[in-house]
């Protein structure tokens, strides 16, 4: 049975209350959601995604006050970020309440938590009597989904329902901020940039490049990667243009068939580039080419997060 795709929040709610997993829209990427308080439901998220059990899930809830129920402590700087950016594409890693099962956090004492900014999912969360544990709704290691159709293609055979909230407005995963002795650390880059965070709470460190950081396993270097090998554009070497895909930031490559090319933003808009990146990777991956070349985008603001995802799509370690 293939998942039903629809906009019925009540239907999504019914399945979740029965302990099933449902695809949900957020402003960043689609999530694969389950009742976070139901251990069996949480374990089925890992099975459906083929996700290793050491990679913790993100908890989704509908307000700052609600989030406080699921954590034991909110450092002052975290409270500032929560009130500034929630609902929005920011995840805070904070000490978890005993109410949250260790299945959600892969045994960690902290939980990543956020309030997503999508009207359908906020309505759903308000109706439910529990928070949702939801990683991105892709098979582990593959490109995250930014439409209901992306979710359906890969996980549609394993879940009963996908709540269709249209294409994701941000297009890349949330910024993750953790705290070391109350000092903020960016664990994953996203639309909420280092500059935006520092404007509110002062200096913040970035620790996203570790290959085996057990505290942010989703940051394994090879991640967000299509099956077709992806290489950085501009690398020397011969290639067969008929067998090559190309993802340009703003201007197409003159030597490759236009039908094999995706432009992230013809006007050079970094937000549009973030929104287009995953669909472009998926589209070219489906064309069965020998390789895909991709250009970096300018490194400022959200561009830094886009380049981070490009690096991970390229890297095969
Ligand atoms: O934008 C998003 O955050 C999307 C949407 C669906 O909300 N979710 C998402 O989830 O990207 P996922 O599972 O693909 O990434 C979750 C990552 C983990 O891989 C890990 O890096 C980090 O969040 N994380 C979760 N809990 C953590 C914790 N307690 N400590 C450190 N990192 C944690
Ligand atoms: Mg993911």
Q: Is 47 exposed, middle or buried (0-12, 13-18, 19+ CB in 10 A)?
A: exposed
Of 154-158, 209-213, 221-225, the poorest mean pLDDT is in 209-213
Q: Residues 93, 75: contact at Cβ < 8 Å?
A: no
**Cα–Cα distance for residue pair 307/172, rounded to 1 Å:** 11
For residue 216, the ligand 1 atom closest to its alpha carbon is: 21
pLDDT at residue number 234: 85
Confidence at 233, pLDDT banded by 50, 70, 90: very high
Q: Which whole number is the average pLDDT over 33-46?
A: 98
Looking at the predicted structure, is the pLDDT value of residue 292 above 90? Answer: yes
Domains of the chain: 4-206 (3.90.870.10), 230-315 (3.40.50.11030)
**Cα–Cα distance for residue pair 21/245, rounded to 1 Å:** 35
pTM of the entire structure?
0.96
pLDDT at residue number 212: 46
The predicted-structure confidence for 212-223, as pLDDT tens digits, reads as follows 455 555 555 566
Q: Would you state the structure tokens that stand for residue 77, as one six-digit string?
A: 């700087």
The residue whose CA is least distant from atom 33 of ligand 1 is 216
Ligand 1 pocket test target in 30, 56, 67 with most atoms within 8 Å of CB: 56
Residues 194-203 as b or e (16 or more Cβ within 10 Å = b): bebbeeebee
Confidence at 286, pLDDT banded by 50, 70, 90: very high
Place of tokens 């002062």: 202
The predicted-structure confidence for 110-135, as pLDDT tens digits, reads as follows 999 999 999 999 999 999 999 999 99
CA of 150 to the centre of ligand 2 (A): 14
CA of 103 to the centre of ligand 2 (A): 17
Q: Which residues line ligand 1 (CB under 6 A)?
A: 26, 28-29, 31, 55-58, 91, 93, 105, 108, 110-112, 116, 134-136, 173-174, 176, 178, 187-188, 215-219
CA of 184 to the centre of ligand 1 (A): 16
Residue 179: phi, psi to the nearest 5?
-130, 130
pLDDT at residue number 221: 57
Q: Residues 220, 212: contact at Cβ < 8 Å?
A: yes
**Cα–Cα distance for residue pair 74/36, rounded to 1 Å:** 20
Looking at the predicted structure, is the pLDDT value of residue 143 above 90? Answer: yes
Q: Is 98 exposed, middle or buried (0-12, 13-18, 19+ CB in 10 A)?
A: exposed
* Partners of 247 in the β-ladder: 262, 294
């Amino acid at each position: 049975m293939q998942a039903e795709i629809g906009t019925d929040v009540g239907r999504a709610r019914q399945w979740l209350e029965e302990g099933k997993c449902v695809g949900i829209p957020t402003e960043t990427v689609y999530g694969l959601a389950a009742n976070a308080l139901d251990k069996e439901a949480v374990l089925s998220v890992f099975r459906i995604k083929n996700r290793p059990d050491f990679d913790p899930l993100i908890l989704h809830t509908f307000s700052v006050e609600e989030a406080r129920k699921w954590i034991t402590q909110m450092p002052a700087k975290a409270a500032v970020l929560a009130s500034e950016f929630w609902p929005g594409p920011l995840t805070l890693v904070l000490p978890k309440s005993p109410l949250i099962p260790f299945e959600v956090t892969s045994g960690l004492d902290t939980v990543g938590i956020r309030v997503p900014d999508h009207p359908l999912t906020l309505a759903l969360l308000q109706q439910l009597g529990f928070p949702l544990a939801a990683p991105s709704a892709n098979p582990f290691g593959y490109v995250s989904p930014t439409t209901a159709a992306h979710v359906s293609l890969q996980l549609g055979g394993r879940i009963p329902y996908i709540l269709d909230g249209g294409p994701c407005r941000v297009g890349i995963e949330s910024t993750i901020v953790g705290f070391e002795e109350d000092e903020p650390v960016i664990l994953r880059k996203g639309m909420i940039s280092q500059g935006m965070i520092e404007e509110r709470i002062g200096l913040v460190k970035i620790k996203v490049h570790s290959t085996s950081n057990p505290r942010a396993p989703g940051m394994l270097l090879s991640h967000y990667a299509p099956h077709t090998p992806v290489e950085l554009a501009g690398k020397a070497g011969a290639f067969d243009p008929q067998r090559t895909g190309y993802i340009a930031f703003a201007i197409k490559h003159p030597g490759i068939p236009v039908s094999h090319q995706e432009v992230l933003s013809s006007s050079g808009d970094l937000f549009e580039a973030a929104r287009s990146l995953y669909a472009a990777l998926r589209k070219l991956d489906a064309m069965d080419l020998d390789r895909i070349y991709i250009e970096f985008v300018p490194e400022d603001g959200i561009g830094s997060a886009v380049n981070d995802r490009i690096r991970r799509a390229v890297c095969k370690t």
